[in-house]
Amino acid sequence: MDTALRYQADTDIMLRIRGLRKQYGNFTALNSLDMDVKKGELYGFVGSNGAGKTTTMKIISGLLKADGGEVYIDGVSALQKPADMKRHIGYMPDFFGVYDNLKVIEYMEFYASIYGFHGKEARQLCLELIDLVNLKDKANVYVDSLSRGMKQRLCLARCLVHDPRLLILDEPASGLDPKARYDMKEILKNLSDMGKTILISSHILTELAEMCSAIGVIKHGQMILSDTASGISARLSASNTLVITVLEKEEEAVRLLMELPGTANVSGRDHIIRLGYDGGAEEEARLLRSLVEKDIPVHGFKREESSLEALFIELTGAR
Amino acid sequence: MKINPMLKKEIMVSVRGIRLTVIMLIFNIVLALIGLVVFYSILENAKWSGSIDYSATISLYCMLVVFQVILLIFIVPALTAGSISGERERQTLDILLSSSLSPGKIIFGKLSSSLLSVLLLIFSSLPVMSLVFIFGGVEIADVVVNILFLMYIAFLAGSIGISCSARFRKTGTATAMSYGVLLLIGLGTILATVLLMIMYEWTNTGEWARLLAALVLLVNPGTTLMEIIGNQITGEYFMQELFYSSSGLLYFVTSNWIPASIITQILMVTLILRSAVRRVNPLSKGKPFKQGKPRQ
């Protein structure tokens, strides 16, 4: 089926990337990247430094020319019609500056005027957006006097001035203190609840895991994992180590566990047995019953808490 | 009427800063010093001779015009060479380019803002310029033509400044290159013309050397100024006298020097500005985009 027709069938896809490539001299930044972001999704885009996150976001936003591939935003090719697409994208870079001698409300009105909002209409819109990001009391303050966290929120408000369909936020919480990160996270959750499609990149994986409905992991310019938040959690659970504490008969328990199907890397020390086991809850219950039937006194039976960081490190090899 | 958003923002920012005020102060101090010194000498001369030397008034007018042009050539690149490179250094350019504001509108807004600043400078210097009316000899129409020419010079210099700003990442480099280009146009063309004329006079080169010399000088706005002032004061055309030709393309060019040079310079600047727009547009750099084969 023709790619365009096939894409039209997926009307719930806001952003579709296929085979995206970008080369900087001898360095391959993007190597046939594929990605889908559904409408209304808060999509976390994760990868080590140099993996290709910022390059991808800049290509989508029309700031970099791709060397090949396709990018569709709500069914329209962003690479063929970049000027048209800019009305539908709100982009926040990882590093940005502000203008001296402009107040917060004037900064917002400048960007509002770019999109055709003027006069009272523009002022009302800007005041609402400033209020949305909790900067209402700073409306008449010069932007260069704002803290970093406030500037980030202001930039987010600026992204929203033209009511874009897709928000692209490159490390919006970078360099922020915990309170400022929390504030940013709450605003993003509100926007997601309002139905905005948001593509956000970050190194702070726990926060992404908390607020994102889907996560994609990029490595060397390719997507190596893309799944919903629940899918990621299931994957984490299944990959976590099973830890069994026995009061005695440790060696017998280790031998028994090695013989059972689905177990791997069984090892025991100081009454604590660790093994890899990819079974679900029912299989775990059967394994426990096997031990009890052999009169092995089991004191503890649990899955070791694994983290998204651990999964990320495992996937990307980042150390 | 919708104003270019970049122009509106630039005006707001520039009037709040001290830079334009300082420039205006220096501009007017220099002009006032020149004007008042020459005017004083006219009066002192009149005391001794018992009559007013009207040619001195004309000289005052010429000096003021020339110094205004020189000052603008120094000021305008300083105003414009940081237009785009400054946005890069402040890390605000990516946000601008990701918006609906096209690179052309960004550059137009920046250039317009600098021209408005120059207009402000020119109008602020009118009291000094009005010294030329005290004893007569210079008409209001001449001063109006002078103002238009100054705006034209500002447009040329500003376009070069913005183009260098688009080309180079650092404002310092862009500023230096702007002055370099202006020097090339101002003095480099004269040097080239002198060499070509020497070739014509001392060797067996044909008429092409003089024609080429004239064509090279067409890009120099200083020659346009000289022709305008010459026409205003004496009614003569200096370029015709310089190249003394009675027929052919050389005669046509030298007898229509003002329009020919303005058209040449505008064409040059148009190409420069188009190049600046291409430099700023991130999607026009490098190789043309090739559509990759979609994965099945």
ipTM of predicted assembly, 2 dp: 0.84
The answer to whether the CB atoms of A19 and B293 lie below 8 A apart is yes
- Within a domain: A76: yes
Q: What is the CATH number of the domain that holds A293?
A: 3.30.70
**Number of domains comprising chain A:** 2
Please tell me which of the candidates A63, A99, A100 has its beta carbon nearest to residue B98. A63
Chain B environment of A34 (Cβ under 8 Å): 295
Strand ranges across the sheet with A89-92: A89-92, A166-170, A197-201, A42-47, A214-219, A222-228
Output A275-282 pairs: Cβ under 8 A, ≥24 positions apart: A275/A241, A275/A242, A275/A244, A276/A239, A276/A241, A276/A242, A277/A242, A278/A238, A278/A239, A280/A238
Shortest alpha-carbon distance between residue A83 and chain B (Å): 7
Could you tell me the two tokens for B33? 């010093």
Binned at pLDDT 50, 70 and 90, residue B296 comes out as very low
Of A163, A197, A226, at which residue does a domain stop? Answer: A226
Looking at the fold, whether A245 and A213 belong to one and the same domain comes out as: no
- Within a domain: B197: yes
In this prediction, residue A240 carries a pLDDT of: 67
pLDDT tens across A145-185, in order? Answer: 999 899 999 999 999 999 999 999 999 988 888 888 888 88
Nearest to B150 by CA among B138, B139, B158: B158
Cα(B241)–Cα(B245) distance, integer angstroms: 8
Chain B environment of A86 (Cβ under 8 Å): 98-100
Looking at the fold, whether A72 and A198 belong to one and the same domain comes out as: yes
Shortest alpha-carbon distance between residue A95 and chain B (Å): 7
- In chain B, which residue's Cα lies nearest the Cα of A113? B5
CA dihedral B107, B112, B115, B120 (to 10 degrees): -140
The answer to whether the CB atoms of B282 and A62 lie below 8 A apart is yes
Q: Are B5 and A113 in contact (CB under 8 A)?
A: yes
Amino acid identity for residue B29 in this structure: I
The answer to whether the CB atoms of A79 and B289 lie below 8 A apart is yes
Rg (chain B; Cα; Å): 23
**What's the domain range around A276?**
241-303
Of residues A305 and A180, more confidently modeled: A180
Size of interface A-B (CB pairs under 8 A): 97
Distances in Å between the Cα of A33 and the Cα atoms of A69, A72, A235, B222 are: 8, 13, 22, 56
Amino acid identity for residue B25 in this structure: L
In this prediction, residue B174 carries a pLDDT of: 96
Binned at pLDDT 50, 70 and 90, residue A235 comes out as low
In this prediction, residue A238 carries a pLDDT of: 59
**Number of domains comprising chain B:** 1
The answer to whether the CB atoms of A99 and B294 lie below 8 A apart is no
DSSP letter, residue A87: G
- Within a domain: B118: yes
Binned at pLDDT 50, 70 and 90, residue A280 comes out as confident
pLDDT at residue A66 tops 60: yes
Q: Per-residue pLDDT averaged across A247-275, rounded?
A: 90
- Within a domain: B293: no
Instruction: Look up tokens 């009061």; give the residue.
Output: A247
Looking at the fold, whether A155 and A281 belong to one and the same domain comes out as: no
Looking at the fold, whether A160 and A298 belong to one and the same domain comes out as: no
- Within a domain: A126: no
- Within a domain: B172: yes
- Within a domain: B290: no
Judge residue B23's burial from the number of C-beta atoms within 10 Å of its C-beta, 0-12 exposed, 13-18 middle, 19 or more buried: buried
- HSE (CB half, 13 Å, CA atoms) of A238? 10
Looking at the fold, whether A67 and A155 belong to one and the same domain comes out as: yes
Query: Quick check: A74 contacting B, CB < 8 Å?
Result: no
Could you tell me the two tokens for B100? 């609906």
pLDDT tens across B104-159, in order? Answer: 999 999 999 999 999 999 999 999 988 888 877 788 888 899 999 999 999 999 99
pLDDT tens across A112-150, in order? Answer: 999 999 999 999 999 999 999 999 999 999 999 999 899
DSSP string, B183-216: HIIIIIHHHHHHHHHHHHHHS---THHHHHHHHH
**What's the domain range around B136?**
5-281
Looking at the fold, whether A252 and A212 belong to one and the same domain comes out as: no
- Within a domain: A116: no
- Within a domain: B243: yes
